[in-house]
Amino acid sequence: MDYLILILGLAVLILGGEFLVRGAVGFSKKMKISSLVIGMTVVAFGTSAPELLVSLKSALNGNPGIAVGNVIGSNIANIALVLGVTVMIFPIVVDRNTKRIDYPMMLFATLLLSVFALDGWFSLVEGMFMFAVLIFFLTWVIRKSRKETKSKEKENNKTNEEVEEYKEEAFWKSGLFLALGFVGLYFGADWFVKGAVSIANELLATNPNKDVIIGVTVVAFGTSAPELVASCVAAFKKETDISIGNLIGSNIFNIFAVIGLTSMVKPIEVSQSVIEFDMLWMIGITLLLLLVLYTGKKIGRLKGVILFSSYVAYITIIVLKVQGVF
């Protein structure tokens, strides 16, 4: 039964990813926004919604600190695991705006989070500042994309009537596909994790640290499954802007919205171990992405192996620490 749930979850995940990408492409044309921006906003925020809900619920239940581990673990997995696996399967050509705008904002968000964490707390004021930065950035990037798209339409000599006719036909379908995609990714990931955790529990029944090991491997992979499937499907359909925009946008959203809103609900305490280990890994992998993006126009399979290897190293160190090796 566990294997059936695992396979069913994976199938629903893939179907959800297909619907999501199809809806995102149509929605980008309707709103006159580039696929990259749609990937960074609609797709990224949709796939990161579970992290936000879990963090807000934890804060209301008196455990806001869960948000920190949730965000840091997700951000590491998005770049090292998800992007690594995606480009190992489907190499991605990087858009110029990714290098000039999106990655610098993600790097800024990562460093800002690290600076705010130095005193051991994310305060109400810091949360408000992070969320305000997110609103400002989204407003600016959407306006910029709309101007660029309209300019391209004029260059291609498209009439307003032709564009409007296409948009009216595609809009409701795009919205439906987006909704089905998000639902599929949510339930698919949930079923996938439940099946995988049950199987892992049986395989690690005699291991005293099985809960931690399952948490940092199976559960961590499962929570990143929506981003992984969405990015792989987008890359397979040659919508690489959606693929990488989804991951960078998710990381920005995780920091500015998840941590920002959660700390506005209740200040978040940051443990010293997180600052000295997990936070440093997040910064390191973010800087590794800097080299990956700016060396050549394409993120190829070799770079994917390097990114994935960094994730394996991170997980291995955590497991070894739990086992008491060092």
Query: How many other C-beta atoms lie within 10 A of the C-beta of residue 258?
Result: 27
Return the pLDDT at 222. 67
Is domain 2-322 in CATH 3.40.30.10, yes or no?
A: no
Return the pLDDT at 203. 66
Under-70 pLDDT residues of the chain? 17, 153, 155-170, 203-204, 207-223, 326
pTM (global) more than 0.85: no
Return the pLDDT at 167. 45
Return the pLDDT at 144. 86
Return the pLDDT at 199. 73
Return the pLDDT at 209. 58
Residue 147 buriedness (CB in 10 A; 0-12 / 13-18 / 19+): exposed
Return the pLDDT at 53. 75
Q: How far apart are CA 224 and CA 275, in angstroms?
A: 22
Name the β-bridge partners of 121. 269
Which residues, 6+ apart, have CB-to-CB distance to 264 below 8 Å? 124, 127, 128, 131
Mapped onto helix, strand or coil, the DSSP state of residue 10 is helix
Q: How far apart are CA 320 and CA 236, in angstroms?
A: 36
Could you tell me the residue ranges of all domains in the chain?
2-322
Return the pLDDT at 124. 94
Q: How far apart are CA 49 and CA 44, in angstroms?
A: 9
Quick one: angle between helices 44-60 and 66-76, nearest 10?
160
